[in-house]
């Protein structure tokens, strides 16, 4: 029954991404500047020659600095966030940040010897989409896209696509699967997420 309810709710909520609600003060140049700074930091870590674990720690700091972690983690928890206590939400947000940094940090680690470059910026509804191109050794270039807003009062990205794969929807599905496996037990799901971090 729990899994069926989740499938219905996921179907209703994942048909379209609801963007953060904010009044747009951010402009095209600021959105591009944020992603250029993000790319510079990622490229520095990639070129550092550090161990994988050290790189992952750096990627976690980068993720915390440049992304709207509260929005991303709340979106990932989805409708189950409504029944979570404030303590569970904090614990989930902390575990989720480490998990996401490790997962996407490993992906960015594949960029060693390559680079990311901003290709263009466009306004979409009430945020900006910043398109970048990843150039990796021995591979065809591919697109990495960031959605940027200033909802929090700071310029931050709240979603990312790597080769068309949507971070928000992917992570909502992953967290939903963890909850299904734990029959909706939020604390057990957080424990599982911490073990993946």
Q: What's the structural domain count of the chain?
A: 1
Cα–Cα–Cα angle for 167, 157, 122, rounded to 5 degrees: 100
151 in a domain, yes or no? no
Residue 46 has pLDDT above 70, yes or no: yes
Share of the chain above pLDDT 90, in %: 54
Residue 64 belongs to a domain: yes
* Position 156 in a domain: no
List the structure tokens of 52.
Answer: 């994988």
Of the chain, the percentage scoring pLDDT greater than 70 comes to: 87
- Structure tokens belonging to residue 51: 């161990």
Residue 85 per-residue DSSP state? -
Give me the phi and psi of 166, to 5 degrees please: -85, 115
Whether 39 maps to a domain, the answer reads yes
pLDDT of residue 10: 41
**Residue 158, in any domain of the structure:** no
Tell me which residue range forms the domain holding 59.
2-11+24-113+166-196
Instruction: Answer whether residue 157 is part of any domain.
Output: no
On whether residue 101 sits in a domain, the answer given is yes
pLDDT for the residue 52: 81
Q: In the structure, what pLDDT confidence band is assigned to residue 21 with cuts at 50, 70 and 90?
A: low
User: For residue 131, is it within any domain?
Assistant: no
Q: What pTM, to 2 d.p., does this model score?
A: 0.81
Pairing of strands 142-149, 127-135: antiparallel
- What are the pLDDT digits (tens) for 79-113? 999 999 999 999 999 999 889 888 887 777 777 77
Separation of alpha carbons 167 and 174, rounded Å: 10
The conformational region for residue 84 under phi > 0 = left, psi -120 to 50 = alpha, else beta, is beta
Query: Considering only CA atoms, which of 79, 88, 84 is closest in space to residue 6?
Result: 79
| Whole-number pLDDT of residue 197 | 64
């Amino acid at each position: 029954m729990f899994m069926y309810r989740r499938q219905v709710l996921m179907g209703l909520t994942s048909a379209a991404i609801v963007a953060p609600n904010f009044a747009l003060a951010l402009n095209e140049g600021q959105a591009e500047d944020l992603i250029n700074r993000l790319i510079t930091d990622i490229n520095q870590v990639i070129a550092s020659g550090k161990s994988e674990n050290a790189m992952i720690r750096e990627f976690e700091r980068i993720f915390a600095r440049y992304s709207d972690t509260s929005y991303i983690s709340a979106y990932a928890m989805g409708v189950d966030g409504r029944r979570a206590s404030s303590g569970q939400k904090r614990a989930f947000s902390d575990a989720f940040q480490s998990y996401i940094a490790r997962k996407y940090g490993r992906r960015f680690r594949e960029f060693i010897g390559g680079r990311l470059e901003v290709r263009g910026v466009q306004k979409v509804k009430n945020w900006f989409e910043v398109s970048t191109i990843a150039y990796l050794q021995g591979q065809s270039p591919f697109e990495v896209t960031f959605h940027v807003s200033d909802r929090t009062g700071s310029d931050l990205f709240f979603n990312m696509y790597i080769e068309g794969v949507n971070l928000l929807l992917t992570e909502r599905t992953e967290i939903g699967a963890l909850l299904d496996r734990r029959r909706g037990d939020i604390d057990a799901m957080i424990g599982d997420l911490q073990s993946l971090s």
